[in-house]
Chain A
Amino acid sequence: MANSRKLVFRRAAQIGLLCVAIFAFLGAGDENARFNDLGHRMMCVCGCNQILLECNHVGCNYSDHMREELIAAINHGDNDDLVLQAFIQKYGTTVLAAPTSKGFNRVAWTMPYAVLVLGLGVVTMIVRAWGRKAVALREAAGPTDPAMEPFRDQAQRETEL
Chain B
Amino acid sequence: MPQLGSFAVLFALALSVYALFAGALALLRPDAAGERLGETARRAGVAIFFAVALAALCLVTAAFQNDFSLAYIYHHSNRDLPAPYKFAALWSGQEGSLLFWSLLLAAYGLVLRLRHNVDRRLFAYASVIIAAVQVFFLLLVNFAANPFAMMQGTLPADGAGLNPLLQYPEMVIHPPMLYLGYVGFTVPFAFALGALMMRYPGEKWIHVTRRWTMVTWGFLTCGIFLGAHWAYSVLGWGGYWAWDPVENASLMPWLTGTAFLHSVMMQEKRGMLKIWNMWLIFATFLLCIFGTFLTRSGLVSSVHAFAQSSIGNWFVAMLALTFAVCVAAFVKNRSHLQSENRLESLISRESSFLFNNLLFVVACFTVLWGTLFPVLSEWVQGHKVTVGPPFFNRVNIPVALLLLLLTAVGPLLAWRKTSFESLKRNFSIPALAAIAVAILLIAFGMRPWAEQSAFYSLMTICLSVMVTVTVFSEFVRGGRVIAGKTGKGLLAAMGRLAHNNTRRYGGYVVHFGVALVMIGLAGSAFNQDKEKEMGYGGKMEIGAYTLTCRSYTQDDKPNYRSEWAILDVTKNGKPLTTLYPERRFYKASQQMSTMPALRSTIQEDLYVVYEGVNEDNGRPIIRVHLNPLVMWIWIGWLTMVGGTALCMVPNAARVPLGAPAPARATVAAEAGD
B-contacting residues of A (Cβ < 8 Å)?
Answer: 1, 4-5, 8, 22-23, 26, 28, 40-41, 43, 48-51, 54-59, 92-99, 103-105, 108-109, 111-113, 115-116, 119-120, 123-124, 126-128, 130-131, 133-135, 137, 154, 156-161
- Bound-state CA distance A120–B236 (Å) is 40
Q: Which residues of B contact A26 (CB under 8 A)?
A: 449-452, 455
- Bound-state CA distance A100–B530 (Å) is 29
- Bound-state CA distance A156–B611 (Å) is 65
- Bound-state CA distance A43–B455 (Å) is 25
A-contacting residues of B (Cβ < 8 Å)?
Answer: 236-239, 242, 244, 301-303, 342-346, 351, 354-355, 358-359, 361-362, 365-366, 369-370, 373, 377, 380-381, 383-391, 394-395, 399, 412, 414-420, 422, 426, 448-452, 455, 594, 609, 611-615, 621, 623, 663-664, 666-668, 671
Q: Is the CB of A49 within 8 A of B302?
A: yes
In the complex, what's the smallest C-beta–C-beta distance from A81 to chain B, in angstroms?
Answer: 16
- Bound-state CA distance A103–B385 (Å) is 13
Q: Is the CB of B388 within 8 A of A43?
A: yes
Q: Is the CB of B242 within 8 A of A160?
A: no
Q: Is the CB of B667 within 8 A of A56?
A: no
In the complex, what's the smallest C-beta–C-beta distance from A107 to chain B, in angstroms?
Answer: 8
Given that A4-B420, A119-B361 are known contacts, is A99 also in contact with B391, CB under 8 Å in the complex?
A: yes
Q: Which residues of A contact B418 (CB under 8 A)?
A: 160
Prevailing SS type, chain B contact patch: mixed
Q: Is the CB of B388 within 8 A of A123?
A: no
Q: Which residues of A contact B362 (CB under 8 A)?
A: 112, 115-116, 119
Q: List 6 A-B contacts (CB under 8 A).
A: A26-B449, A58-B614, A99-B391, A131-B345, A159-B415, A161-B414
In the complex, what's the smallest C-beta–C-beta distance from A76 to chain B, in angstroms?
Answer: 24
- Bound-state CA distance A94–B384 (Å) is 7
Q: Is the CB of B612 within 8 A of A58?
A: yes
Q: Is the CB of B399 within 8 A of A116?
A: yes
In the complex, what's the smallest C-beta–C-beta distance from B657 to chain A, in angstroms?
Answer: 15
Q: Which residues of A contact B455 (CB under 8 A)?
A: 22-23, 26
In the complex, what's the smallest C-beta–C-beta distance from B456 to chain A, in angstroms?
Answer: 10
Q: Is the CB of B394 within 8 A of A137?
A: no
Q: Is the CB of A50 within 8 A of B667?
A: no
Q: Which residues of B contact A94 (CB under 8 A)?
A: 384-386
A-B residue pairs, 7 tightest by C-beta: A97-B388, A58-B612, A98-B391, A130-B343, A98-B390, A130-B342, A160-B422
**Given A26-B450, A26-B451, A59-B615, 5 other A-B contacts at CB below 8 A?**
A26-B455, A123-B354, A123-B358, A127-B354, A158-B667
In the complex, what's the smallest C-beta–C-beta distance from A4 to chain B, in angstroms?
Answer: 6
Q: Is the CB of A134 within 8 A of B612?
A: no
In the complex, what's the smallest C-beta–C-beta distance from B448 to chain A, in angstroms?
Answer: 8
Q: Is the CB of B344 within 8 A of A131?
A: yes
Contact residue among B244, B303, B671 (Cβ-Cβ distance under 8 Å from A159): B671
Contact residue among B343, B389, B412, B414 (Cβ-Cβ distance under 8 Å from A97): B389
Q: Which residues of B contact A157 (CB under 8 A)?
A: 663-664
Given that A56-B611, A158-B667 are known contacts, is A96 also in contact with B354, CB under 8 Å in the complex?
A: no
Q: Which residues of A contact B399 (CB under 8 A)?
A: 116
Q: Which residues of B contact A48 (CB under 8 A)?
A: 303
- Bound-state CA distance A98–B623 (Å) is 26
In the complex, what's the smallest C-beta–C-beta distance from B49 to chain A, in angstroms?
Answer: 38
Between A94, A123, A157, A159, the greatest number of chain B beta carbons within 10 A of the residue's beta carbon is seen for A159
**Closest Cβ neighbor of A159 among chain B residues:** B414
Q: Is the CB of B452 within 8 A of A56?
A: no
Contact residue among A1, A116, A134, A160 (Cβ-Cβ distance under 8 Å from B344): A134
Q: Which residues of A contact B303 (CB under 8 A)?
A: 48-49
